[in-house]
Amino acid sequence: MGYPDQRFDVNLSILFTELPLLERPAAAAAAGFTAVELWWPWIETPTPPQAELDALKKALDDAGTQLVGLNFYAGQLPGPDRGALSVPGAESDRFRANIEVAADFAASVGCTALNALYGNRVEGADPQVQDALALENLVLAARAADRIGAILLVETLNKPESPLYPLVSAPAAIEVVDKVNAATGLGNAKFLLDLYHLSMNGEDLSQVVKAYAAKTGHVQIADNPGRGAPGTGSLPLERLLDELKDAGYAGWVGLEYKPGDRPSAESFDWLPASARAAG
């Protein structure tokens, strides 16, 4: 058990950001990893030129890295936004324009998990209207994911850092997951369980694991406080990942932490080199 018993991937939108996007897959591979994940890389557009999509695919292929998770368009992230799908008007339209683009790209690289960030509450907008719009868009996204044999992920964030995001508890995200699955009948909506965000919300992490491991489609980790690498804070991440495994979770664990003031490649000393390549 322990870290060597997990399947880790590196989030290239928070690690190796000292490098241009197209150089990050090779950097992850040089650090010993064979799997990566990404936030939507084109924060200005849901529909980048095909040449840019092709260049990212080539960078992933050339590095020998498997993309195992991809966000749909989520607005300015990093930045003030936390998704687009519940934001009425232009942002919802951008999310819809992105659905098939993201799904087709995921299919082209064999990625089978697509994360749909819910979006912030908007001043002057009725929360019920936002939630109805969110369900409409999540149903569309779930069907697109199903078309390529992928799952749709719904993520809890943390209230201190994302005060306008409505899904700031595990049960809140699970409720959305259940609503999407009921609406589509596909069963491919899953919970993205981020131990850092849940800990920031003060949740009982062992209880969340026990209650929701069966509905979890992807896991992300960072230590708390600080959102740094495992061992820089006080979260018992190794034990929690063992608990997830014991509860039946056999999926990916995304490394979504900040490397601090050192190069990303130097932030993996907590993980033996022999445990970095995913089998």
Active centre residues (catalytic): 155, 256
Per DSSP, what are the bridge partners of residue 253?
8, 219
Report CA-CA distances (Å) from 227 to 69, 200, 233. Answer: 20, 10, 8
What does DSSP assign to residue 134? H
Per DSSP, what are the bridge partners of residue 191?
154, 216
What does DSSP assign to residue 84? S
Per DSSP, what are the bridge partners of residue 36?
10, 67
Tell me how far apart the alpha carbons of residues 126 and 106 are, in angstroms, rounded to a whole number: 33
Which of 56, 129, 31, 145 lies closest to 88, judged by CA? 129
Q: What is the dihedral of CA 241, 244, 245, 246, to 10 degrees?
A: 120
User: Hey, what are 106's tokens?
Assistant: 């995921």
Per DSSP, the three-state class of 45 is: coil
- Structural element, H or E, at residue 114: strand 113-115
Total Cβ atoms within 10 A of residue 98? 26
Tell me how far apart the alpha carbons of residues 81 and 161 are, in angstroms, rounded to a whole number: 11
What does the buried/exposed string (b/e) look like for 135-157 if buried means 16 or more CB atoms within 10 Å of the residue's CB?
Answer: bebbbbbbbbbbebebbbbbbbb
